[in-house]
Amino acid sequence: MKEYKLAETEERFADIIWQKEPIGSGDLVKLCEKEMNWKKSTTYTVLKKLCDKGIFQNKNAVVSSLISKEEYQAKQSIRFVEDTFGGSLPKFLTAFISGKKLTNHQAEELKRLIDEHKSY
């Protein structure tokens, strides 16, 4: 699994792109100036860094994603479970729901997901 680790500021920048894509790079510069108080050079530097990581692309001055926000979040979740719980999903779920009660709907949804992803 390719690792996509972003700093907090990079995540904010990525969110802007995911919300507006496809977006012209000039429009992205203007938006980042307004939203993040960045100069043009900062926007292009961070954009290049995220393009080099394989998250976005800038083709013909149009910026778009190579992975969706949902794919990015899924990879971060997997990494968190691996780093924090030794990759054990049961340990993660135990910690996540400790002290909480699941609704019948939540329990049924979890059972359905488990059944869908079982390897026999």
d(CA 74, CA 4): 11
What's the pTM value of the predicted model, to 2 decimals? Answer: 0.79
Specify whether 23 is located in the same domain as 55: yes
Q: What's the confidence (pLDDT) of residue 58?
A: 97
pLDDT at 120 over 80: no
Dihedral sign, CA of 26, 28, 29, 34?
positive
Specify whether 20 is located in the same domain as 59: yes
- Position 82 in a domain: no
| High-pLDDT (> 70) share of the chain, % | 98
Q: What's the confidence (pLDDT) of residue 51?
A: 95
Per-residue pLDDT averaged across 9-20, rounded? 97
Q: Tokens for 15?
A: 């969110």
- Position 1 in a domain: no
pLDDT in tens, 30-51: 999 999 999 999 999 999 999 9
Q: Which residues pair with 24 in a beta bridge?
A: 62
Dihedral sign, CA of 68, 74, 78, 84?
positive
d(CA 120, CA 104): 26
Q: What's the confidence (pLDDT) of residue 4?
A: 74
Q: What's the confidence (pLDDT) of residue 1?
A: 43
Range of the domain at 104: 88-120
- Position 36 in a domain: yes
Q: Tokens for 116?
A: 């869908």
